[in-house]
Amino acid sequence: MTASVTVPSAPVVVRAAPRRFGLVVLAAGAFVLLAAAGYVFPRWLTFLLTMAAGNGLVSLGIVALMRGGVVPFGQGMVFAAGGYTAALVYNKLGFTDALGLALFGGIAAVLVAAPFAPLLSRYRGIFFAMLTLALSMVTYGLLMKLDALGGSDGFNVGRPTLLGQKLPDDRVGYTLYLLTIFVATVAAVAMRIFFDSTRGLVTLAVRENELRVEYLGGSVRQAMAINFVVAAFCAGLGGALVVLSLGHIEPDFSFWTTSGEFVFVAILAGWQSVAAVFIASTVLEIVRSFSSAYFPNTWQLALGLFLLFVIRFLPRGIGSLWTKRRGH
C-alpha cells in the first residue's frame, strides 16, 4: 500500500483475550447509559441518535474492509438492499416485528453481496472503489426504474411492532431508538471480537503485505471476501433500522453520495476503535442538523473541511486519539 515514513509511533494495537469480559461489561454499561439518557432527551435528539446508530452500522462494515486495505465506495447497494427488504417484507408479507425486519435486512444484504464477494476480493485501490461504486449505481438505476419497488419516489413503511407489542404514538420514537442502539451495541461487540480474532489479525496483515500472507499459508482472497460479506450484513441491518425510523425508503439509499457519507464517517473514525465509528456517525448527524437549522448550505462545507483536517492531521481517525500504545 502506502510507503509510510517510519517515524517512531505507536504500533497498531491487537487486543488480548482477557479484555473480552471487560468489553461486554463496557458495552452493556454504555447501552444502559444511552437508554436512560434517551428517556429524557427531546424527541429530535433521540431521532438523531437513532439515525447515527443505524448509519453507523454501515460505516462499521466499511471499517472491516478498511482494515484489509480497501475502501468501498458503494455500500449504498447493501444499505438499500437491507432497507428495501425490510420495507417489502412489511408491506407485502405483513410481517411487522422490527427486530425481525432488521435481521431480514441483514440477511438480504448478505444474499445480494455474496455473489460479488469472490470477484471483489481480487481488487484493490481505485478499481475496488470504482467497481463497488458501479454496482451501487446499477442498483440505483434499477430501483429508479422498477415501479414494483416504487420507482423514483420509493414507498412508505408503516409503524412496526416489537416482540408482539404494538407501539403507541408516544413510545414509537423511544422504542425504535432503544432497538437501534441495542442492535448497534451488539454489532459493535461482535465486530470488536471479530477484529481481535485470528481472522481479524490476518485481515490486518493483508492490508500491509499480501505476499507474505500467502507465503505464510493464509488466503488473502478468502479474508477479503468474508470481510465484504460481514460488511454487507452490518449495512443491511442499518438499512432496515433506518427505514423503520424514517418510515420511508427510496432509491437515493443506493446513490453514490449516500455511500460517500458512510465512507466519510469511516475515515473520520479510523479503523482502530469501534466506538469511534458511532461517535463519528453522531458528529455527522449533528453537523447535518445544526447546519440546516442555523447555517443553511454549509453542512457539506463543514464535512469537507472536517475530512481534510482528519486526512491531514489525524490519518488514523479520531479513534487514534484514545487507542493508546499498550505494551504486552
Partner 1 sequence: MNAVVTILIDGLTYASWLFIVAVGLTLVFGVLKILNIAHGSFYAIGAYAAASFVAWAATMKWAPGFSIVAMLLAAVAVAAVMAPLTERGLLRFFYGRDEVLLVLVTYAMFLILEDVTKLLWGANPYYVSEPYSLFGNLHVGVQTWVGYDFFLVALALVVGLAVWWGLNRTRQGKITLAVIHSAEVAASMGVNVSRVYMAAFSVGIFLAALGGAFTAPMISVQPGVSVGVIVVSFAVVIIGGLGSIEGAAVGALIVGLARSLAVHVAPVAELFSIYIVMAVVLMFRPEGLFQRTQARKI
Partner 2 sequence: MSADISEAGPTLLHVDRVNKRFGAVVAAAEIMLIVYPGECVSLIGSNGAGKTTLVNMITGYLKPDDGRISFDGRDITALAPREITRLGVARSFQIPQLYGELTVLDNLLVANACHDQRLSFWQPAQRPEAIDRAERLLERFRLSEHRGRRVAELPGGVRKLLDIAMALTGAPKLLLLDEPTSGVSAEEKFPMMDTIMSALGHEAMTVLFVEHDMDIVERYASRVVAFYAGRVIADGAPDAALADDAVRRYVTGELLAQ
Binding positions for partner 1, rule: CB under 8 A: 1-2, 70-71, 119, 122-131, 133-135, 137-142, 144-146, 210, 220-221, 256-257, 260, 263-264, 267, 297-301, 303-305, 307-308, 311-312
Q: How far is the CB of 270 from partner 2 (least distance, A)?
A: 13
Residue 159, interface with partner 2 (CB under 8 A)? no
Would you count residue 182 as binding partner 2 (CB under 8 A)? no
User: Which of 144, 145, 143, 116 shows the shortest CA–CA distance to 131?
Assistant: 116
Q: How many residues bind partner 2 (CB under 8 A)?
A: 36
How many angstroms separate the Cα of 212 from the Cα of each of 70, 196, 203, 207, 277? 18, 20, 12, 11, 30
Residue from 41, 95, 123, 194 touching partner 2 (CB under 8 A): that is 194
Polymer length of the chain: 328
Of 253, 270, 259, 273, nearest to 307 by C-alpha is 270
Contact with partner 2 (CB under 8 A): which of 193, 286, 287, 314? 193
Q: Does 2 bind partner 2 (CB under 8 A)?
A: no
- Asked if 25 interacts with partner 2 (CB under 8 A), we say no
Select the span of 67-75, 215-223, 234-242, 299-307 touching partner 2 (CB under 8 A): 215-223
- Of 14 and 293, nearer to partner 2 (C-beta) is 14
Spell out the residues 6+ positions from residue 128 whose beta carbon is closer than 8 angstroms to its own. Answer: 70, 71, 72, 120
Q: What are phi and psi of 162, to 5 degrees?
A: -140, 120
Report if residue 324 touches partner 2, rule: CB under 8 A: no
293 lines the binding site for partner 2 (CB under 8 A): no
Q: Mark the segment that binds partner 2 (CB under 8 A) among 109-117, 211-219, 259-267, 287-295.
A: 211-219
Report the distance separating Cα 300 and Cα 321, nearest Å.
Answer: 24
Q: What is the CA radius of gyration of the chain?
A: 19
By CB under 8 A, residue 21 contacts partner 2? no
209 Cβ neighbours under 8 A, 6+ residues apart: none
Q: Is 285 in the site for partner 2 (CB under 8 A)?
A: no
Residue 124 Cβ vs partner 1, minimum distance, rounded to whole Å: 4
Distance separating alpha carbons of residues 3 and 161, to the nearest angstrom: 52
Pick from 311, 287, 292: which is nearest to 55 by CA?
287
Using CB under 8 A, list all residues that contact partner 2: 4, 6, 8-12, 14-17, 20, 193-194, 196-202, 204-205, 208-209, 211-219, 327-328
